[in-house]
Amino acid sequence: MSFDSLSLKILLLETKEQIIGRTVDKIMEHRSGEYGFVLRNETGPSVMLVSINPNFPAFFHTLEQKINFMNTQSNYQLLMKKYFEGARIVDIKTFHSDRILGIYLLKKDSFSETGYILFFEFMGKHSNSFIYQGHSLAPGSLDSAGVIGALNFSHGLCDYLNSPPKRDIALYAANLSSAAAPPGGLKELIASSTGLSPMLCKIAAGRPFEKSLAEIAAVYNASGYPELEAIIEKSRGDKNSIFDIYNPAVYASGADGKRKVFVYPFDPGAAGETAVRRDARDSLNECYALFYTARDTEFITSRLRGRINRLLDIAAAKKGTFESDLRSSADYLKYSERGALIISELNNIKAGGGNKKLESITIAGVDIPLDARFSVSDNAQRYFKLYKRFKAKYEYCLNMTESLDKIIEKIAACRDSLDSMRDGFSMEFCREIERRISLIASELIYEKRARKKFIGEFSAEMKVFASCVAQKSRAQADGKNSAEACESSKYYRLFKTEDGYLIYVGRSDSGNDYILSKIASQQDYWFHVKDFRGSSVILKMPKNAGDEALERALGEAALYAAHYSQGRNATKIFVSCAMRKYVKKVKRAAGKVIYSNERSILVDVNRLEEKFGRAV
């Protein structure tokens, strides 16, 4: 159980400040029990994922990763859409130091506002969720009558929230002075408390009881991320502290055939686990976002592999049919031999008056069956026609079998490449696989409607897969030179400033229009080089950005406007900058705008060369 209540609390502390105040824009269900909430505020969209799927319990919030939800609709998802789309998140918390998450939402309409609490309980195959109307949640006040929708709901959960039967470790720590330490120390206490992992029991073994208990309780009682940071920093280098081994990462354990990949905030090696650290990040939230993207890629890869196997089954079935026909026509020479025997004896047969309708005839010791409806000479012609027909059939089936063998090899090569390239996927690889499979399907599926359906479904899966590959590439590029693009689109290039603000660079006139109308908000900044053709640039800036950070970001965005223009070789480059609310698109003129209240920025040519290299 790597996703325990302590992991949930740490994730909540890392993301709470980012989530509160955002509005729910869209709710989607990826797989059963995996719910994606697209949130928005003035700085742009983000994704919050809550998964009570027994195979992958998770909770994280990401501003950068895009999750490609398949949107598998269910009754519970539609119910959440009804109540929560357009609602604002006003609070989010955990309960009783357990794996229970409560999201407080406020939904306003023209006449009133209504409060809701969306509960999620992460309990493996017993996981559940329910919607509670009302924000008042005094101790013992939760009433099942207030539940207006649920997934696997149990009335016992309301009773549990009112009065948990197991020990709340945070409350226990608060009353430590009057509570006797259990004989088994912290390990026994964790085992008898709510929602803590057996792995944490092993990690806590051998460490001072009161110190470790106080640290765990401090995490549960923390109200924000700075408090968590203080706990971690204070414990660094202290061998008696469990936070000395705090190292959030994606870990892998077990043999290749049964390899288990999981995320945990502490180093499992301290619990005696033989786990390999795959990918470490600064926060547990980043680890879960990265792990989910990689897991999603693997899931989509298996779906692609299934579709390729379906194509392989079609080819194998066709090959089986042709092989059967090949075996039935393999003795086509006997028909030619029978016709030749009849012709060689035809004069003798006619002289004896035997060119009549017979059922069979024996020539040179060979019994030749005849069709009694025809004369002997007509039967000879019939055998020659059968020889030509079966010979043509044999040659056709032989050619088709050889052709299908080659097609099967191509399909198998595509399927194997999905496995062999698992850690090295690229956009070029995705395009090549899609092209090859489309060509193979065109050769293999003769019926037009079935062929069009297969290619369309495969292309849709491949599009999602390619997007996951792009996300993985962006994750691997994190931390490299900020001039390197972190996202690619047919409309724009996406970059980050040194302070982490997003810069969108249009790829064409239509791309310039796209970033201006679809991406930029009124407080963002628009850039374009003066006196030269070039790309429009949008700088996304939050309202609370400081003056120094704003000036640095404006200067960096101007460098991109200069670099992606025809004036990048000029000795002096001026860039126009204006807030988006002062920029207006010219109708029926792609890429053209009129603007006012602008300022001119003189680009430092030396800095431009230092960032992008000398223009050729």
What are the tens digits of pLDDT across the range 458-500?
Answer: 888 787 777 666 655 554 444 343 333 344 567 888 888 888 8
Residue closest to 116 by CA, chosen among 78, 152, 83, 74:
83
Do β-strands 23-29 and 492-496 pair in parallel, antiparallel, or remain unpaired? unpaired
Mean pLDDT estimate for the chain:
81
For 288-340, the pLDDT digits (tens) are 888 887 777 677 777 788 888 889 999 999 999 999 999 999 989 999 998 88
Tokens 């073994």 map to which residue? 205
Contact predicate 572/615, CB 8 Å:
no
| Chain segment 92-143, per-residue pLDDT in tens | 998 877 888 999 999 987 778 899 999 998 888 888 899 998 876 655 577 7
Cα–Cα dist 530/533, whole Å: 8
Q: Which of 80, 207, 58 is nearest to 150 (CA)?
A: 80
Using CA atoms, how far apart are residues 83 and 103, in angstroms rounded to an integer? 13
Q: Which fold has domain 5-162?
A: ibrinogen binding protein from staphylococcus aureus fold (2.30.310)
Q: Which helix (H) or strand (E) holds 156?
A: helix 155-162
Query: Model confidence over 20-46: pLDDT tens digits?
Result: 999 998 898 877 888 989 898 877 788
Q: Where are the domains of the chain?
A: 5-162, 195-280, 304-470, 487-612
369 pLDDT above the threshold of 50: yes
338 CB neighbour count, 10 Å cutoff: 24
pLDDT tens sequence across 416-451: 887 765 555 677 777 888 888 889 998 888 888 998
Cβ distance 601 to 560 under 8 Å? no
Is the pLDDT at 615 greater than 60? The verdict is: no
Burial 43-61 (b: 16+ CB within 10 A, else e): beebbbbbbbbeebbbbbb
Predicted pLDDT at 529 = 93
pLDDT digits (tens, 9 = 90+) for 572-593: 899 999 999 899 988 878 888 9
282: CB partners within 8 A, 6+ apart: 248
| Burial (0-12, 13-18, 19+ Cβ within 10 Å), 136 | exposed
Give residue 178's pLDDT: 47
Is there a contact between 193 and 167 (Cβ–Cβ < 8 Å)?
yes
